[in-house]
Structure 1
Amino acid sequence: MLKLFRATAILEGVSYLLLFALTMPLKYWADITEPNKVVGYVHGFLFIAYVVVCMVFVRERKWGFRKAFVLLVASLLPFGTFYAYKKYLKGLDQSS
């Protein structure tokens, strides 16, 4: 579950950055809408996957509300999932 959560966190973060740093400017400044649609769908799927995997992971680890809250809020902020990965997930396999 740890590897899945790590991968989901990183992919969700990358899709968020692609959506807002690349495809949104293409859509509004260059009137190119197709990349935004595709990346938007991918990001939406990854966002939902992140939330579901996060809840399963938190429950499996028996972590408290605070960690769950931080991990969920991280998905709403640019670079947030990268922060969550570094703060909560990076060293887990060595400490377990």
Structure 2
Amino acid sequence: MNHPSVKRFRIAGLIEGGSLLFLLFIAMPLKYFAGLPEVVTVVGSIHGFLFITYLGFIAYTTYKIRWSLIWVLGAFIVAFIPFGNIWLDQRVKRNFA
């Protein structure tokens, strides 16, 4: 199934996952090692917006292609794991693209 909503979900997931990695591996070290807490404030706000947007894409994709509860929970859980969205992207690509 090569549905446009799956492609949009994959893009949103990779962007959201990238923002998490940027927050954890660039912004947080800048806060603690360079004394720049403002970076975490800005990047954290952007990541929060992208996370909420990602949740919307989960809901939209579930509606359009009737994802099972396992896919929905998996998509939600990997958003909290560094590199999790990259792993999920490969699974979605294999099963739905």
Q: TM-score, normalised by structure 2?
A: 0.86
Alignment partner, residue 53 of structure 1: 57
**Counterparts of 1:57 and 1:84, CA distance in 2:** 14
SS of the aligned residue for 1:63 comes to coil
Could you tell me how far apart the structure 2 residues matched to 1:60 and 1:31 are? 45
Q: Percent identity?
A: 31
Deviations 1:38-95 (A, max 9, x none): 11111001111111111110121112111111111011111111111111135633xx
Q: Please tell me whether residue 44 in structure 1 is matched to residue 48 in structure 2.
A: yes
Q: Secondary structure of the residue that 1:5 maps to in structure 2?
A: helix
Larger RCO of the pair (alpha carbons < 8 Å, separation 6+): 2
Q: d(CA) in 2 for partners of 1:89 and 1:48?
A: 22
Where in structure 1 do 4 or more consecutive aligned residues deviate above 6 Å?
Answer: none
1:16 corresponds in structure 2 to 20
* Counterparts of 1:90 and 1:52, CA distance in 2: 22
In structure 2, runs of 5+ residues without a counterpart are: none
What is the RMSD computed on CA atoms of the aligned residues?
Answer: 1.4
Distance 1:82 1:3, change over 3 A: same
Matched, 1:5 2:6: no
